[in-house]
Structure 1
Amino acid sequence: MKYYALVGSNLQMVDEAGSGAPEGWIEMLAVRPDDENTGDYTAQADGTWAITQETLNAKLIPIESSWRDAQMPIAQQNVTAIEYGEGDIPGTAQQWQRYWLALRKWTDTNPDFPDSSKRPVAPS
C-alpha cells in the first residue's frame, strides 16, 4: 500500500490497488499521523508529514485578531474614564493610550504576531 499527498496540503490518498498517484502528488514515506492534530499536518516535499509554523499561524491569527478587537475599546474606555476622573482604573491615561497604539499594531505586519506570549500588555 502506498500513500500520496499534495505538498503543502493535508490531502492524502491511499493507493491499495497500485494504480499510482495523480499528477502533482508525491509518494509519502508513511500515512498521515492519525491523532488529535491530524488536520494540522501538511505534506512536505521530502515525503514526510509536519505541522508547520504556517499552519499553526493560520489557526492563531483569528484568535489574536479577536483578542485585539476586544481589547481596543477597553483601552479607549479606560482613557476616557481616567480623563473624567475615575480613580479605580490602574495605570494612567497615557499608559492606556500607548497600550491602544500597541494593540493597533498587533497585526500580521508585526513580526511577533500571532505569538500570544508577545501580546501588548495592559497597564496594571
Structure 2
Amino acid sequence: MKKGVIALISIGAILLLIGILVSLNYIVIRLQSKKYDLIDMDPVADRGVEPDEEGYEQLSEMTMHYLKFGHGEKALILIHGNGGSAYSLTNIAGYFADKYTVYCVADRCQGKSSDPGVISYELMAK
C-alpha cells in the first residue's frame, strides 16, 4: 500500500514538472518571437487598434480613465492587471470590437486614472 502511494505521488510530481517545463518553453518561444497577440508586453510598442472614444468617468472619490471600442449591442468590460492601464488591453479589444461595445478601464491609481489617496474595500465596492 505504501509503495503504491509513493509511486502515485512520484508520478504526479513528474507530470507536474513536465507541465511546468513545457509551459516555460512555450513562454520563452513567445517572448523570443516578439509576437504578442493579446496583451502588450512593451508599454511603448504598438498598442493595437485605436479607440473609438477615450474619456474619463467621475466616480464618488476618483476619476476613472476608459477607452471605448466598437458599437455592439452588448457591452464587454476589460480590466487590466496590476501595473497596467487601459492601453494594455487594446489588442484584446480589437478581437471583440466587431461584436461588442468594448470598454477598457484603468483601475484606480493606475494608467491615467486618478489616485483617490485612500484605498479600501468599501471604496472599491462603490
TM-score by length of 2: 0.25
Q: Which has the higher strand share?
A: 2
TM-score by length of 1: 0.25
When Rg is computed on C-alpha atoms for both structures, the one with the higher figure is 1
Name which structure has the greater RCO, CA cutoff 8 Å, separation 6+. 2
